[in-house]
Chains A and B, each alone.
Chain A
Amino acid sequence: MLNYNSPINDKKEYSDLIMSEIEPIIKINLRGKKRDLLTKIGKSLSIIPPTEANTSSGNDNLNIIWLSPDEWMVYSNNKFNSENDNYKLEDGLFNEISKINYGSVTNVTDQWVMINLKGDKVFELFSTSCPFNFNKFKNTKGSVVQTVMNHIDVIIHHKNINDINLFVRRSFSNHLWSWMNDSARFL
């Protein structure tokens, strides 16, 4: 049996801040420009993808976050137990979208590591190394931004107030985790 090794596999608690890696989470990248693409996605996932920049939509199982006018990322709310669940979603979408030339469907489950951050000090932590203006963002549930933290590309999804899912490329994740922990101790 192959062993599964996520890069961080850790949880840390600070005053008013909890950070933890949440893996394995299915993540699928969707791209397309055709008008019917959104309908196709909606039918497959029972969620209408967001069309407004830096917003998201979702249900109990899945979230769809807007990344660009022709790009979204779907990710699951819950960890999956078997790779079959991962393949099932990917294959389903691939057949409905990519195979019939409505756009592209790419499995990015291990491309990104998801880190969940909860607490009143989340945005204070971000302010140590992220130049984005969170003033409006932090009061808007469901908002999304692609930005940098300590020069590392990240996607930040404000799932609920002070409850953030942050996505970082796997190869950068250890460094970012160390950085965030280092910054958190001074909050």
Chain B
Amino acid sequence: MPENLRVKASNFIDETTKISFKFNGKTYYGFKGDTLASALISNNIHLVGRSFKYHRPRGIMTAGSEEPNAIVQLGSDKALTEPNVRATEVEIYEGLEATSQNCWPSVNFDISGINNILSPFLPAGFYYKTFMWPASFWEKYEYFIRKSAGLGKSPTEPDPDIYDHKYIHCDVLIIGAGISGIIAAKIAAKNNLKTLLLEEKNELGGLTIYQDSDFFKIQNKKSSDWLKNEINEIKKLSNLEIKTRTSVAAFHSYNYLLARENLTDHLNKEEKKNKVRQRLLKIRAKNVIIATGSIERPLVFNNNDRPGIMLSSAVKKYADYYGVVCGKKTVFFTNNDSAYESAISLNKKGLSVEAIIDIREKSDSELVKEVEKIGIQIYWSHTVVDARGYKRLKEIIIMPLSKDGMSVIEKKINLKCDCLAIAGGWTPAVHLFTQSGGKLKFREEDQVFLPNVSQSKQISIGSCNGDFKLNEIIKNLIINVKNFLEIKNTEYDNLKIECPSDNVKKNIWLLPSNKVIGKTKPFVDFQNDATAKDIKLALREGFRSIEHVKRYTTTGMGTDQGKLGNMHALGIVADTAGVKMGELGTTTFRPPYTPLTFGTIVGRNVGEFFDIFRKTPMHEWHEKNNAKFENVGQWKRAWYYPINNESMDEAVQRESKAARESAGILDASTLGKIDIQGTDVLEFLNRVYTNAWSKLGIGKCRYGLMLNEDGMVYDDGVTTRLDENHYIMTTTTGGAANVMGKLEDFLQTEWPELDVFLTSITDHFATVSVCGPNSRKILNKIIPDLDLSDKNFPHMSFKDAHIDKIKCRVMRISFTGEQSYEINIQANYGKSVWEKCMEAGKEFNITPYGTEAMHLLRAEKGFIIAGQDTDGTMTPIDLQMDWIVSKKKYDFIGKRSLYRSDTIREDRKQLVGLLTDDPNEVLEEGAQIVAETNKKPVEMLGHVTSSYFSPNLNKSIALAVVISGKKLKGQKMFVPMKNKTISVTIADSVFLDKENKRLNA
């Protein structure tokens, strides 16, 4: 039966609700409100894990998110198990299961504990010096290193939990609901500011809420009672939103913050079903007040990592808040007065405090006097030189300090204890401040980094701003908040505050020992097993910058990000190297402040919402007719339509053949369409395209090429003149939004004098493209009153028409080289028109074809696809499209760049056709092209951009870009592949119907 270490009932734990949970397979009991850590301690379980490198036994050290040791694996379900969770942050619920990490077969007996014996061979940086020989063995070493790396185990199945995001905008965001945050929140909210208060714990009040001390009073009440009242009042304020169990993860620029709200982790399985588990809050605040408090520092001495060695504030919290005693014989070890407050608190509960070890020579504060009155022995000017007890602290050894504090003198004293509460001072939590870009300053007197200059509208208050005494905290925060929020008066202006007087602090980063440092293990970073020894080694090896020392020793690189140890590392570097701490600076604080699950980051963007998809008006028809889809940007485009279990290749061959032999139908709705109106449109078109537009007649269509200012092909499409000042421009599917944006940008910024207006109509029209020798006959059945003769309706022209009284536009343009008509009709009629075409085309075996067949058909004609045959580095001349570059136009976008020395080079990559010697051999797109295979290194002359087997030519064809390709027609080249080399000949890029006779067939 596990021991029960509960003291008298706490106000914060519901002892009427007993909860059972499992730890390492055994069942224990706690109460509602307990964390896993407090519940374990109440069952006298201190050994919770093994350290990362040395596999030393480790116990719970803190009571908060700064916990380095008590990192557990939650749950065993393959999908739901979660590694590296802090036991100090998990609220227990019925059925919770947790296991120790980084140990095998158990935390009590861990085979890798041998690492501790081998530790002299495993100092910091040993990775860089071992596993080097022989070089061929590296992959063998790597296998074992990977197996032993990391702490917990990742889930192996998809996460079934639900996560969510939410945007919040507020006037004031307050981070932290300790006494500072509560007062700031009330001031803000009562001054009609929309206020959001976030607290990472489940209760408001920080450490004041359980302070319960006659030494700390506000308005003649105990600080904890006064604060309780304030909390009750702020809960009633209508423009104050309070979120608990919410931890701010990141503070980005312009007061944009991310916070994780835990909604159901504290609930049992049934209660959390189908509910959102965690929510990422995306907060934009006009003003931010950081009230994140400070983190207690440990002390660095030999074997300071024994289970049972805990922070003094944690020991107090477990006793006062959770009602749990951390040890039957507690000794305090301190360098300041806060340990005395904890000792008094324990004594009040009837708990044994054996002694206080204080490195200072003396302190006369009220707290010290009270401790002396109680009769607790104080060892002034003493230090702990060793802590003994492998799986649980059994005793400590202390020695007097020399006058200068640099060494120990006289005799050793052994003290029996099972809990050593250490108090090394306080480190302001400035992480979020620096994430936001704020610069810190160093205060020498108590060796803390404090917020100095910020980049955004924010302030820090309370102990994170360097105020540690209650009266200073409250007095300063009121002044600062009033100034910050421009408030004249508050109800707090004349508060009466009583607290102990200022206490003397003494700081020794690495406490002296009676042994040489090489024979000791004073831990600085508990999670990564980095010791003071390692830091000194890094300095001896020449590392000076704190960033380099961090990386060499891995100090501060664990999941706790060195919250406990970074200052000590900095201090030891400064002392050893003889530099000032303020000049060394800190390492960079990066988000997240505490770990975030991937689920929280992703939110609802999983499954069908992983990416956005766009559908054409005919999508339903495609789906029903077994189309396979490809993603073209965000569009789902029909790729091919297999019938009778066809493979993709078979379907594409059939579709391509049918389109040339009779009739094909393609959904071209995704192409960008821009409506252009205005008296200056022709001038505008002349400027944006390379070719000439001034003589484009009404009712005519023209193909155009668009360049970027660097002369590279950017997009292409057909523009139709509907009327005197009315045009429709088409773009590529992928380029639609970019082209629209770019053209609008030019009109607004470069050419505001032009009378031109653009409106996107990409989604307004469905586009049905019917091509092939029988396309005219099909159109004739659908639009019988439209004269489709070549004379009336030539290639590259358009007609207005009606289909069943619905207006439409028919463009006679072709991307396949076949006679072809594109019907543009309002999207909500698109599917119906498609079906009508299919019906009308039945007798002609009209065949729906997808994007793959479309690519093949245009390649047979040598038509480029921007983005397939171009990659942003091809000019029109490179594409052998000199014909489309007007020599007469004064200017167009990119014109000047076509005459740069680089763009007029003869040996640029140029578009060519490729024919394989074996006509059945189809080249791979992207394959390299070389002239010689024996020469080493092989000179790559180009690559294949498009490649297909043409059913209409009954051979393989390809388009490629090759250096000086224009001059190499007829030349033999090679395409080296993994297992063979393919012989090819450079050919014309137009493989079929060079005379374009099929357009008018």
Contact = CB atoms under 8 A, between A and B. Distances in A.
Q: Is the A/B pair a real complex?
A: yes
A104 B757 contact: yes
Contacts of A169: 614, 762-763
B143 interface: no
Interface of B: 162, 164-169, 194, 276, 282, 284, 604-605, 608-609, 612-617, 620, 635, 670, 675, 677-679, 725-726, 755, 757-765, 803-807, 826-833, 836
Contacts of A160: none
A109 interface: yes
Contacts of A80: none
Contact of B164 (A104, A128, A132, A135): A128
B257 to A, nearest CB: 13
A104 B763 contact: no
Contacts of A32: 757
A70 B757 contact: yes
Interface in A67-121: 70, 83, 87, 98, 101, 103-112
A46 interface: no
B832 A2 contact: yes
Contacts of A83: 805-807
A106 B167 contact: no
A109 B759 CA distance: 13
Given A127-B168, A172-B612, A106 B759 contact: yes
Interface string A36-49: 00000000000000
Interface in A173-187: 174-175, 178-179, 182-183, 186
A135 B613 CA distance: 30
27 contacts: A2-B803, A2-B806, A2-B833, A4-B832, A5-B830, A5-B831, A7-B617, A23-B828, A24-B828, A83-B807, A101-B725, A103-B677, A103-B757, A104-B678, A105-B677, A110-B827, A111-B761, A111-B763, A128-B166, A151-B612, A169-B762, A171-B615, A171-B763, A174-B613, A179-B609, A182-B604, A182-B609
A31 B725 CA distance: 14
A3 B763 contact: no
A31 B755 CA distance: 11
A132 B169 CA distance: 9
Interface string A123-134: 000011111111
A110 B755 contact: no
A38 B326 CA distance: 78
Nearest to A27: B764
Nearest to B725: A101
Contacts of A87: 807
Contacts of B764: 107-111, 170
Contacts of A179: 604, 609
A7 B677 CA distance: 29
- Which of B614, B755, B764, B806 is most buried by chain A, counting CB atoms within 10 A of its CB? B764
Contacts of A186: 162, 164, 276
Contacts of B826: 109-110
Nearest to A87: B807
Contacts of A1: 804
A6 B828 CA distance: 5
B158 to A, nearest CB: 17
B679 A110 contact: no
B675 A7 contact: no
A68 to B, nearest CB: 9
A150 interface: yes
A182 to B, nearest CB: 6
Given A101-B725, A106-B761, A111-B761, A5 B614 contact: no
Contact of B165 (A101, A109, A129, A182): A129
A24 B829 CA distance: 12
Given A83-B806, A186-B164, 18 more contacts: A2-B806, A3-B831, A5-B829, A5-B831, A7-B828, A70-B757, A110-B764, A111-B763, A127-B166, A127-B167, A134-B169, A151-B612, A152-B612, A174-B615, A178-B609, A179-B609, A183-B164, A186-B162
Contact of B169 (A103, A107, A109, A133): A133
Nearest to B619: A174
Contacts of B162: 186
Given A3-B831, A5-B832, A128-B165, A108 B761 contact: yes
B635 to A, nearest CB: 7
A131 B612 contact: no
Contact of A101 (B194, B617, B755, B758): B755
B30 to A, nearest CB: 30
Given A110-B827, A179-B609, A101 B759 contact: no
A162 interface: no
Nearest to B165: A128
Q: Which 7 A-B residue pairings sit nearest by Cβ, starting from the closest?
A: A104-B677, A111-B764, A104-B757, A171-B614, A31-B757, A133-B169, A110-B827
Contacts of B763: 110-112, 169-171
A135 B194 contact: yes
A152 B615 CA distance: 13
Contacts of B605: 150
A104 B604 contact: no
- Which of A1, A87, A129 is most buried by chain B, counting CB atoms within 10 A of its CB? A129
B260 to A, nearest CB: 16
Contacts of B725: 98, 101
A186 B726 CA distance: 48
Nearest to A32: B757
A174 B634 CA distance: 13
Contacts of B670: 171
A178 B757 contact: no
A31 B681 CA distance: 14
Contacts of A175: 609, 612-615
A29 interface: yes
Given A5-B831, A111-B764, A131 B759 contact: no
A155 B169 CA distance: 20
Contacts of A178: 608-609
Nearest to A134: B169
A86 B257 CA distance: 47
Nearest to A28: B759
Nearest to A168: B763
A101 B194 CA distance: 49
A170 B613 CA distance: 12
Contacts of A105: 677
A31 B678 CA distance: 10
- Which of A5, A24, A70, A174 is most buried by chain B, counting CB atoms within 10 A of its CB? A5
Contacts of B169: 133-135
A7 B616 CA distance: 9
Nearest to A29: B759
A178 B611 CA distance: 13
Contacts of B804: 1-2
A128 B280 CA distance: 10
A20 to B, nearest CB: 17
B978 to A, nearest CB: 40
Nearest to B825: A2
Interface string A12-30: 0000000000011000010
Contacts of B807: 83, 87
A130 B282 CA distance: 10
Contact of A104 (B276, B284, B613, B675): B675
A182 B609 CA distance: 10
Contacts of B620: 5
Given A101-B679, A133-B284, A170 B757 contact: no
Contacts of B759: 29, 31, 104, 106, 108
A168 to B, nearest CB: 9
B800 to A, nearest CB: 12
A38 B833 CA distance: 38
B604 A170 contact: no
A9 B298 CA distance: 64
Nearest to A103: B757
A170 B617 contact: yes
B836 A2 contact: yes
Contacts of B612: 150-152, 172, 175
Contact of B828 (A5, A70, A128): A5
